[in-house]
Amino acid sequence: MAPNLIFTRRRWLSGGLVAAILLVVAGTLAFGARYPAAPTTIDIQAVPITSFDNRDASRVRFGELEFRGGLVLTSKNDAFGGISAINVEPDGAHFLAITDNGSWLRGRIVYDKGRPAGIAEAEIAPILGADGTPLAAHGWFDVESLTELDGMFYIGIERVEQIVRFDVRRDGLTARGEPIAVPPDFKTFTFNKSLECLAAAPKNSTLAGNLIVVTERSLDAAGNHRSFLLKGDKVERFTVKRTDEFDVSDCTILPPGDLLLLERFYTPARGVAMRIRRVPLASIKPGVVADGKTLIEADLGYQIDNMEGIAVHRNAQGETIITLVSDDNFSVIQRNLLLQFTLVGN
């Protein structure tokens, strides 16, 4: 979820159990009317971002990344917005994303000379539960993280602290979710500061078969991000070092052996910033405090917003491409961005 003030948060209305029940019932009816269960084709308008540095349009190198290009995305469809995680296919074009309101979003990135130029073949649909009705209608709407493990897609949902599995490869956007077992201590996470990072360990790694979970800002006694390795009924715990008051907003695997953490920062005094850290998978073990070096850090002097999603693919030239997306919180003062960088550092 987004930071405060500029990035406002949606809060549950207070008023007791009866009010909560009435809200859920009303939400079920409203959601069903507003967002039909069948996938809907939508038009997404894309305005190119040609430079990342607002002060120096000629600059392309930022830390260990080179800026390739970006897009500002808008649509007249009411359900579009709030993009909180993205998975980019190996072709570098087709993608599957999730939104804060509990929707799937998929489409194809159009390129012009290697730069993102538009979005085509876009579809949006509510994420469905096991009963075939939208998860959001049952209060499971704060969808924040996405990964693929062994051909199945997994999403992390804040507030209810659940991980749900989908066979999107087989059933497309009409796939029905199956909640998986999660540790009891998930219920002790800090409200609205939890399941922002899900990643699937590579098959050739010592962590193969594990879902890697790093919380946004559910911290241990030492002030580090509580983190988990989940493999069937097996649960192992570790932490990720928190530095400079950055919170985790997403993660992905950088083959062959690193975890990329997308992080964000906000205070009224310092403003908004984003950062990417590279954590070696070999350093992730039960009981350890994992850490990694910073690849890039940027504030509002650059073309960023509430950066919430990260994905990696390798293009036909063998370059490693990092794709970032932002969550506009359905706010007129924020933007849905898609940014791409080439990894050039070691």
Distance of CA 245 to the CA centre of its chain: 19
pLDDT in tens, 20-57: 333 334 444 444 445 556 899 999 999 999 999 999 99
Q: How many other β-carbons are positioned within 10 Å of the β-carbon of residue 312?
A: 17
**Coil vs helix vs strand at 263:** strand
Structural contact between residues 311 and 327, judged by C-beta atoms closer than 8 angstroms: no
Global pTM?
0.90
User: Is 2 within the bounds of a domain?
Assistant: no
User: Measured between alpha carbons, how far is residue 29 from residues 22, 23, 123, 141 in Å?
Assistant: 11, 10, 22, 14
CB 275 within 8 A of CB 246: yes
Q: Which residue has the tokens 């209060």?
A: 139
159 within some domain? yes
Give the CA radius of gyration of the chain.
19
Q: Measured between alpha carbons, how far is 228 from 211 in angstroms, rounded to an integer?
A: 8
H helix intervals, the chain? 16-34, 168-171
User: What CATH number is associated with residue 101?
Assistant: 2.120.10
Parts of the chain with a pLDDT under 70: 1-37, 346
Q: Is residue 7 part of a domain?
A: no
Q: Is 114 a member of any domain?
A: yes
Number of domains in the chain: 1
Q: What is the pLDDT of residues 223-262, one digit of tens each?
A: 999 999 999 999 999 999 999 999 999 999 999 999 999 9
Which domain range does residue 189 map to?
16-343
For residue 3, tell me if it sits in a domain. no
The answer as to whether 10 is a domain residue is: no
The DSSP call for residue 223 is S
> Which tokens belong to 188?
């002790």
Q: Please indicate, yes or no, if residue 11 is contained in any of the structural domains.
A: no
* Any domain includes 233: yes
